[in-house]
Amino acid sequence: MVVNLPNILTISRLLLIPVFAYALLADGFSLRWVAAIAFGIAAATDWLDGFIARKLNQVTEFGKIVDPLVDRVLIASAIFVLYIKISNVIPLWAIIIIVGRDLMMVIGWLYISHRGKRMSVIRSGRLATATLMMAFFLLFVNVQLSSNILETASIWLFYTGMALSLISGLSYLKIGNIIMRSNQAES
């Protein structure tokens, strides 16, 4: 691993997962704020590490592989913890859709990488991830505030993120299929 600021931010995002998970599930007013702040910082590092990597020309192979993987783990962790805490807001079928799509993506990326090919993150995938992270952040905050307006906005963002996730998943399937067909043509 190349040690640079973007890669450190990616690893810090991974390390924040147990912090927000524990804090949200704990029974304490202050800890629930810690959960929201820790998740907010983790979500912000997703944007920040990519921005810095491109701006300072510090894009690495480690970052290309680990950054999207950490995003998937962050989203899965957040959705499971939120389901445990507020299962009346996030239905199980939505978790299955989002986590299933992400699992499919990781398996696809691994398979394509094993075949010596690379798939880049696409704009709709970034937008889906950002939308879900914003929805989860608002849901973390709403666990503390119990605001109907905030809950409605976060649920709307959640379902928008889920739809974008499905759309980008279909795009990734199409791109992966094209990559694998070109790989077969080269053989």
Res 9: pLDDT: 95
Res 114: pLDDT: 84
Res 116: pLDDT: 82
pTM of the model: 0.89
Query: Mean pLDDT of residues grouped by 10 in the chain (187 residues)?
Result: 91 96 86 92 93 92 89 94 87 94 90 84 92 94 88 95 95 90 73
Res 187: pLDDT: 60
Q: How many domains does the chain have?
A: 1
The answer to whether the beta carbons of residues 119 and 109 sit under 8 Å apart is yes
Q: How many CA atoms lie within 13 A of 114 on its CB side?
A: 6
**Paired tokens of 132:** 């879900």
CA angle 134, 139, 143 (to 5 degrees): 150
What lies within 8 Å, CB to CB, of 104 at 6+ separation is: 169
Residue range of the domain that includes 22: 5-186
DSSP assignment letter at 26: S
**Paired tokens of 116:** 């010596």
Which CATH number does the domain housing residue 29 bear?
A: 1.20.120.1760
